[in-house]
Chains A and B, each alone.
Chain A
Amino acid sequence: MQYFVQQLINGLTLGSIYGLIAIGYTMVYGIIGMINFAHGDIFMVGAFAALIVFLILGALFYSVPIVIALLIMMIVAMLLTSLYNWTIEKVAYRPLRGSFRLAPLITAIGMSIALSNFVQVTQGPRNKPVPPMVSRVYTIDGISVSLKQIIIVLVTVILLAIFWYLVNRTALGRAQRACEQDRKMAALMGIDVDRTISITFVMGAALAAVAGTLFLMYYGVVVFSDGFTPGVKAFTAAVLGGIGSLPGAVLGGLMIGFIESMWSAYFSIDYKDVAAFSILAIVLIFLPSGILGRPEVEKV
């Protein structure tokens, strides 16, 4: 039982990170209907930015309280990553909006390749280990919970709350939902569609940057190719939850997190990704639009 709860906590941590990335996928998909393949690499860029800021802080100051350091890392990473995603949207996706559906998918894949190789070229191909930032572990009843895990879950919850408020309670969120329903009509109603889409990309990138910072803090290492696997897992999570649905993205992220930690704990760590992907396939066979996705009505 303790073991199970322990795995539950691990799954929750992992799932929080996946969920944060998945929101970026699902938002972009919801608003312009494209798979932003570069999003995983945006996450990696966020982690790298956090790493560099961490090193700068270490070089400039003798000691910085870790909370403040994390906060600064997060904010800088969010700003920088937002700039990246904003630029990418403007350069690679906007000119292709409304054209052939596969064209933006290909530019997204191209951007993904370019981003990871850009980081490889500029920062080197080796693993980048950082000294542990937070190492306290609480043990209650034989279940150990590290402070890192608490921070991750807490940050995720706070961000999701802010995010939920933005999407459901503000004019911006209304504009986003309107664009999601019908872009042309939204434009006729006086919504600046281009701006709304840009903001969507910025929001997605900011969440991915937070996920990147948390990832760096949790694992203490990052490498240029780290965008792919978490990116695909988060995308899987978004689809599992029903792409286009925000609660679905979080739910999917948590599910993938749980599946992975449970599978590694009870079966085999080697096949944890296989398990996650297989469950995705199985779920989609029975629920072709994901768990919370709106079923696509076949119009005759």
Chain B
Amino acid sequence: MNASSSMNNAILQVEHLSMKFGGLVAIGDLSFQAKRGEITALIGPNGAGKTTVFNCITGFYKPSEGMITLNLRDGNNFLLERLPNHEIPARAKVARTFQNIRLFSGMTLLENLLVAQHNKLMKASGYTILGLFGYSGYRKASAESIELARHWLEKANLVDRADDPAGDLPYGAQRRLEIARAMCTGPELLCLDEPAAGLNPKESAALNALLMDIKDNTGTSILLIEHDMSVVMQISDHVVVLEYGRKISDGDPQSVRTDPRVIAAYLGVDDEEVETVLTEVGDEDVIEQLDAGPDSAHGPGTSSSYLAGPVTDTIGHSEGERVTVSKGASRAGQVDERAKAAASKAASPAAKSAAKSSAAKSSKAKPAAKAPSGRASGKTTGPAAGKRGGRK
């Protein structure tokens, strides 16, 4: 209520959020902020825990630790981890969409948008009782809700199909409808889980336009998960990068784009690109070893998780996919490692041999944890790892 102005500037504050499934840490000590009126993108490779963060924010999961604060425009704030699932959209005004589209496929587009205005209409209908007797206030509210639905159908360019079943729409239109439906709840924070997945470039552009329109005209802040970099880089004001449940970078799109850890972790690492990065930090020894290719002892296709040996854990993830997490799988960690090695080399010539041996060791993938962070030991510096990352 009496939050300071800086607090109010951030609509969503995630602090020290952790989510554990059994022994697996899906999210570890994650903190970030989403500013009011901005589009914040949450990116990261598959299995980085992005959807888990969403599920924590929207109440489908109860986080193991941490605090998620939502500050509304009227000064009210809510601790989302304490609200029941359905009250998060109703009271804290957070709406979301789903990675696998969840529409009411047997209901028409219009009905989908009317369901989204449930709570408002329930109140207007006197919790059904007044409405049952044809109370005029309800009829007015009902007409208004149809107008709101028409407004969003127009925005989503779907008004021609308002009376068709939602299940009959093509994929791209279903995505737009899901966003329109979420907007009909009157949210202050809109969470979009991969809104551009499966869209063609034209549809993707239309989506960008819709999101920009939402941002500019409604004052709704947007938090989105996206793999499509064209969407992320074009529309987001702020990008948070996750890898294996931890934040590896946070900033505006430009700074994130050039962050070597992000390049390594998320964008996928091409050989040359790693070289560029390493040349920048100036470790020729590492480059030499990179050129030498993977150690023949490991055979082709050796992966980091394989080398990591027994320290793995798998869980049934929400989408049913299996997430295998291994210590030392973090590619961002590898960059850290290299940078550290390079830095120590630059610092003192005497340290050079040590760094060299360290790099040499890591390229031979001996399970020696050199990094003081202890997070990743840079076991796979081979190009194989870089190629696996792939380029989007």
Contacts and interface: CB of A to CB of B under 8 A. Distances in A.
Interface string A35-76: 000000000000000000000000000000000000000000
B55 A299 contact: no
B300 interface: no
A300 B97 CA distance: 10
B194 to A, nearest CB: 13
Interface string A145-172: 0000000000000000000000000000
Contacts of B320: 297, 299
A299 B99 CA distance: 11
Contacts of B319: 299
A248 to B, nearest CB: 20
Interface in A281-300: 297-300
Contacts of B61: 300
- Bin the interface of chain B by size: under 10
Interface string B52-66: 000100001100000
Chain A interface helix/strand/loop/mixed: loop
B316 interface: yes
Interface string B289-324: 000000000000000000000000000101110000
Contacts of B316: 297
B32 interface: no
A298 B98 CA distance: 14
A299 B319 CA distance: 6
Contacts of A297: 316, 318, 320
A215 to B, nearest CB: 41
Interface string B72-98: 000000000000000000000000001
A182 to B, nearest CB: 12
Interface in A203-257: none
Interface string A257-300: 00000000000000000000000000000000000000001111
Contacts of B318: 297, 299-300
A277 B39 CA distance: 54
Contacts of B51: 300
A261 to B, nearest CB: 39
A300 B51 CA distance: 9
A295 to B, nearest CB: 10
A192 B316 CA distance: 30
Nearest to B55: A300
Given A297-B316, A300-B51, A300-B60, 10 more contacts: A297-B318, A297-B320, A298-B60, A299-B318, A299-B319, A299-B320, A300-B55, A300-B61, A300-B98, A300-B318
Interface of B: 51, 55, 60-61, 98, 316, 318-320
13 contacts: A297-B316, A297-B318, A297-B320, A298-B60, A299-B318, A299-B319, A299-B320, A300-B51, A300-B55, A300-B60, A300-B61, A300-B98, A300-B318
